[in-house]
Structure 1
Amino acid sequence: MKKLTFWLTSLLLIQLLLAVALLWNNQREAQLNQPKPLLSIDWQAVDSLSIEDKASGVYIAKSEGQWMLSKQQLPASNDKVNELLQNLEKLHTSWPVATTSNSHKRFQVAEDKFIRRVQLYSDGEVLAELFFGNSPGLRQSHVRRKGDDSIYIVDIDTLEMLPSSKPWFDTALLAVKDAQIIKGPDYNIKKAGTYWTFNRTGPSIFLGNTKQGKLNQENVERLDKALADLVIQRVASNFQPDYQAAETLDVKLVVSDAKNSWTYHFVRDEGRHYVRRSDRDLFFAMNKSVFDPIASIRQVDLIFNKTEPPITLTEGLKEAIAE
């Protein structure tokens, strides 16, 4: 009887030990499987990054708070670059899908076989290097850190990391958000408060009776908005306009805000549309739908025609005060 009690007690202890061991192991696995940041770096210190595929790449660096496409020395979109960095910072890992070097090529995260390679720098030093591979699902990618054989699934699409300048280029580079003076081919207007007037000297109450006519505020604001919304497509690296050709159009505008003044040349050449601004010795390609609302405007488009009601005394006083 004593032997039976001994064996039963021993069996119970063994079962308890197994239960404790199993519980400890489950807790350990649960802890190991907890999402952890893919990269533990000082994200505020990141001041440049590179994105590559097997054929091309782009290098973006920060200069005085502005992200720049380094090779072209052109501004990149701060919003787009910051969004990418935020998305990378949010990436977390759980249990790896593979942990051996033999699996790198299968998941396309090897140093000589990858979909994207992203390097993050601070003061010229590499903070992190990531290899992004094939996609296991919608908006997902396999990823591996340099120096680590473990491969994880993360929630990011490699299409968010395009390795060329075009998707990162600041297409609003030449826009003027708060124009104060616009001087076109046959007009010169200025803004006083919220009201646009002709940029001329000498007071006049009945401005509607001048040879210049009365400005149509709605039409002027449409021109102002076109300059504020001006977007370009790309750098036209090899473009040189043929000014001798009869069909070539070159429209000059001088636009000023509270601090700066720029001279624009809007050029139509062989049915294509370009713009150059005085602070950049480059032509940029643009759409006709962006070109026309600016380059086609003349004074006649900015004033009321003669069939419209004459200026009232109140309106005349308002314009005189604005001047």
Structure 2
Amino acid sequence: MKRTLVILTVVLLVQLGLGVAFFVAGQQPTTVKGEATLLTFSPDQVDELAVVGPQGEQVTLKKTTAGWVLPEHFSAAADSAKVEALLQELCGLKRPWPVAQTAASDKRFKVSAEDFDRKLVFSADGKQLAELLIGSSPGFRKVHARLASEEQVYDIPFSAYQAGLKAGEWLNRDVLQLPKENISGLELPGLKLTRKDGAWQLDPPLEKGKIDPQQVDQLVNLLANLKITDVAGKADPSRLDQATLQLSLQLDGGKSRHYAFFTPGDDKAAAALLQVDGFDRQFQVDKDLIGKLKAFDRQHLMLKSTAPAHEQAASPSAEDTMK
């Protein structure tokens, strides 16, 4: 009798243990931590990403054969490397244990449908793949996040600033840049330079003195490394005669590129407009760039005198000749 009672007690404990285990398992998400990614698709599948802000502001990025563009911002070229890096990071996130899974917690962590810091909408072929709601931050480079199709709230390694709400934050500012070694000639008003056998020379050549290779290098670098600040609508080739400054580049292979800079009407404006042949959009650039380019003339590119100090002292100065 006593032995039977012990056996029954053991069986009862086992049943209770199994019951608790099944109950706990039923309360946990079906995916175990670390076994799957939070997003169930690969970065290569995404061809459209919309970043939505709390006030309804939105930036849309679309993938084309030429790379990512901003279709709602003059179809300007986006920084494709930045977009791809973001997708790689988000699609690689492992699904952690949830920190909450109730409607009340959605509001508390700012990941509800009505209250969020960012909403990332991933699409492919016109169909939505997922909506990821980004909310409050529990610590450095951490945010609360929730998939719109789920109740669970997660704590993921991410920062809201990575998903900017302004088109300029996604813009490819290097769209006009060129390898400097591809530039074989350039022409500014009153100045023409050609590169022959790796060395730059003025056309026509200097009658006296030598060309300063460092000054030429500065000029070439200004154009080779030119950065835009924004895109400003459709280009209008018919207004080239209104340009403040025009210049041309000769490129290897017989190609050329023409630049037309337009000074803004507002003297306080920081940006000037630039039209470049081959591009159907006009760009905004730093207004100071025009002054820097205009400063280069034949005299500016001449190598300064390297005479010894005692010879320079014996020569009359500009101030002396005026006395």
Q: TM class, shorter-chain normalised?
A: 0.7 to 0.9
Return the alpha-carbon distance in structure 2 between the equivalents of residues 300 and 21 of structure 1: 92
CA contact (8 A) 2:145 2:155 kept: yes
Pairwise mapping of residues 23-34 of structure 1 onto structure 2 (< 5 A)?
32-34=31-33
- Residue of structure 2 equivalent to 1:299: 298
Hey, what's the Cα distance between the residues in 2 that align with 1:26 and 1:222?
A: 69
Query: In structure 2, what is the equivalent of residue 257 of structure 1?
Result: 251
Distance 1:147 1:20 in 2: 31
Cα distance change on mapping 1:135 and 1:9 into 2, 3 Å: same
Choose 116-125 or 100-109, whichever is displaced more. Answer: 100-109
Q: Which string of whole-angstrom CA distances, capped at 9 and with x for unpartnered residues, describes residues 211-264 of structure 1?
A: 3853322221121222222112223569x9xx9xxxx98221112333542211
Deviation at 1:83, TM superposition (A): 1.6
Q: CA RMSD in A?
A: 3.4
Instruction: Look up the SS of the partner of 2:98 in the other structure.
Output: coil
Cross-structure match for 1:151? 153
Do 2:43 and 2:84's aligned partners in 1 also have CA atoms closer than 8 Å? no
Structure 2 match to 1:5: 3
Output aligned runs, 1:99-178, within 5 Å. 99-178=101-180
Gap change, CA 1:13 and 1:290, over 3 Å in 2: farther
SS at match of 1:93: coil
Q: Spell out the pairing of 1:1-323 with structure 2 (5 A cutoff).
A: 3-12=1-10, 32-35=31-34, 36-53=36-53, 54-71=55-72, 72-178=74-180, 179-192=183-196, 194-198=198-202, 210-211=206-207, 214-236=210-232, 250-258=244-252, 260-269=255-264, 270=267, 272-276=270-274, 277-280=276-279, 283-287=282-286, 290-305=289-304, 307-308=305-306
Find the aligned partners of 2:262 and 2:220 in 1 and give their Cα distance. Answer: 19
In 2: Cα distance, 1:235 partner to 1:30 partner: 46
Give ranges in structure 1 of 5+ residues lacking alignment.
Answer: 201-206, 310-323
Q: Is the 8 A contact 2:263 2:287 kept in 1?
A: no
**Residues paired across the two proteins, number:** 292
Opposite residue 182 of structure 1, the aligned amino acid is L
Whole-angstrom distance in 2 between the partners of 1:249 and 1:174: 19
Gaps of 5+ in 2: 308-323
Note if contact 2:233-2:282 (Cα within 8 Å) is conserved in structure 1.
yes
Letter in 1 for 2:52: E
* Superimposed CA distance per residue, residues 54-105 of structure 1 (whole angstroms, 9 cap, x where no aligned partner): 2311111122231111121111111211121122112222111222334323
- Cα distance in 2, alignment partners of residues 25 and 193 from structure 1: 80
